[in-house]
Amino acid sequence: MTGLPQPSAELGLREGYHSPQVDVEVRLNTNESPYPPPPEWYEALAGELGDIALNRYPDREATRLRGALAQWHGVGAAQVFAANGSNEVLQCIYLAYGGPGRKVLIFEPTYALHSHIAHLTGTEVVQAPRAGDFSVDATVAVELVRKERPAMVMLCSPNNPTGTPEKRETVLEILDAAAGEALVVVDEAYGQFASWSAIDLVADDVALAVVRTYSKTWGMAGLRLGYTVAPSPVVEVLGRVALPYHLDSLKQAAGRLALQFSAHMEAHVSAIVSERQRLVDELSRLDVDVWPSEANFVLWRPRKKGASQVWQELVGRSVLVRDISSAPGLAGYLRTTVGAPEENSRFLAAVTEVLS
Ligand SMILES: *Cc1c(COP(=O)(O)O)cnc(C)c1O
């Protein structure tokens, strides 16, 4: 016995990505949808199951799924790449456009996976701060793109964990500065909750990839399916870094069939958007700072009590939110996912008690 070899240096330095799971009644910590997919979707999937030849490898090109997504977005099927969750989409983008000797520009605070996957793929991270309102300052971004010449620029709109959308103008200015040298990625995991989408800007001669997921708006976090709408040459490259047959047959069918029930998803999105307003309004009456959000969560900060203490006292009332107060630039902050009305009421009652 001589022991085990050390993992690569990049890995040794970093912890994995975890959201603590605690056994509580009201879970408002991971931005999932409170609503499962409709029974009609389960029926449609069950109806197709018998026809899926699981002894055969899946359609490697995911032709029908990509065709359905392309139609849904009004783009070409060659402009859609799908993978196991948008995290895997991002990993493929990093493998293809990042890597050793290349830089990615990331505006903090943002989704932790953007820098995590950068480290895993040996991509150098250039960290840039956000403006006071948590938006990306276009002037700062353009300067950094010119100075650092990154291979990738990561944007997140609306941004997790702040809920801030980027302006269309900001994306256009960054694209202009990148001038085809950098791939601009807009992570739109919360895109359907927002007032605009960058998908309209995607074209084969524009270095823009917009990433979407089934995990949040579609209420299908358990399915692990995400995709990007990007120039077809980019999609072709992503197909080369993905593992062969990475997307199983069941998932391809499930994701395609979901699009037939989009009215159901959209109704839930509007319900969540109006509940989001209720959370913001009610929180504003308490001794907390609340940030406007275009996503399915709300960023807030107790003014007189520490975030971790408030988090703990909420857990004591069987309500779990996300304590993000240890992230850089987010001292004192908590993030609450918008849940079903009764869950939000439970949260509001608990937080009112804790802060009074
Ligand atoms: C939740 C989230 C994702 C989703 O990742 P999946 O792998 O699709 O579940 C991606 N980006 C952001 C910013 C998120 O908050």
Ligand 1 mean position to 187 CA, how many Å?
8
Tokens 């304590």 locate to: 323
Spell 208-232 as b/e; 16+ CB within 10 A means b. bbbbbbbbbbbbbbebbbbbbbbbb
* pLDDT above 90: residue 157: yes
Ligand 1 mean position to 105 CA, how many Å?
19
Both tokens of residue 127? Answer: 């960290």
Q: Report the nearest atom of ligand 1 relative to the CA of 88.
A: 7
Q: Report the nearest atom of ligand 1 relative to the CA of 225.
A: 8
Dihedral sign (CA 240, 242, 248, 254): negative
Site to probe by mutation for ligand 1, drawn from 216, 225, 322 as the one with most ligand atoms within 8 Å of Cβ, is 216
Ligand 1 mean position to 10 CA, how many Å?
22
In this prediction, residue 276 has a pLDDT band, given cuts at 50, 70 and 90, of: very high
pLDDT tens for each residue of 114-149: 999 999 999 999 999 999 999 999 999 999 999 999
pLDDT tens for each residue of 159-185: 999 999 999 999 999 999 998 899 999
* pLDDT above 90: residue 16: no
The predicted pLDDT at position 21 comes to 73
User: What beta strand segments (E) does the chain contain?
Assistant: 26-27, 80-83, 103-108, 124-129, 152-156, 183-187, 208-213, 226-229, 288-290, 297-302, 319-320, 322-323, 334-337
* pLDDT above 90: residue 279: yes
The predicted pLDDT at position 19 comes to 63
Rounded (to 5) percent helix, strand, coil in the chain:
45, 15, 40
pLDDT tens for each residue of 244-273: 999 999 999 999 999 999 999 999 999 999
Site to probe by mutation for ligand 1, drawn from 33, 86, 166 as the one with most ligand atoms within 8 Å of Cβ, is 86
Q: Whose Cα sits closest to atom 11 in ligand 1?
A: 189
Site to probe by mutation for ligand 1, drawn from 91, 111, 324 as the one with most ligand atoms within 8 Å of Cβ, is 111
Ligand 1 mean position to 87 CA, how many Å?
6
Q: Whose Cα sits closest to atom 12 in ligand 1?
A: 189
Residue type, 145: V
Ligand 1 mean position to 285 CA, how many Å?
31
Ligand 1 mean position to 55 CA, how many Å?
31
Ligand 1 mean position to 235 CA, how many Å?
19
pLDDT tens for each residue of 23-47: 999 999 999 999 999 999 999 999 9
The predicted pLDDT at position 6 comes to 82
- Ligand 1 pocket (Cβ < 6 Å) reads 31, 85-87, 111, 156, 160, 187, 189, 213, 215-216, 221, 226
* pLDDT above 90: residue 14: no
Chain mean pLDDT for the chain: 95
Q: Report the nearest atom of ligand 1 relative to the CA of 221.
A: 9
3-state DSSP call for residue 174? helix
Ligand 1 mean position to 356 CA, how many Å?
34
Q: Whose Cα sits closest to atom 14 in ligand 1?
A: 189
Tokens 């890597």 locate to: 99
Rounded to whole angstroms, the Cα distance separating 205 from 22 reads: 47
Q: What is the mean pLDDT of residues 187-211?
A: 97
Which residues on adjacent β-strands are paired with residue 153? 105, 184
Cβ distance 213 to 189 under 8 Å? Answer: yes
Tokens 């959308």 locate to: 165
Ligand 1 mean position to 287 CA, how many Å?
31
Q: Whose Cα sits closest to atom 2 in ligand 1?
A: 189
User: For 94, how many CA atoms within 13 A lie in the half-sphere containing its CB?
Assistant: 26
pTM, 2 dp: 0.95
The predicted pLDDT at position 15 comes to 59
pLDDT tens for each residue of 62-115: 999 999 999 999 999 999 999 999 999 999 999 999 999 999 999 999 999 999
Rounded to whole angstroms, the Cα distance separating 282 from 287 reads: 11
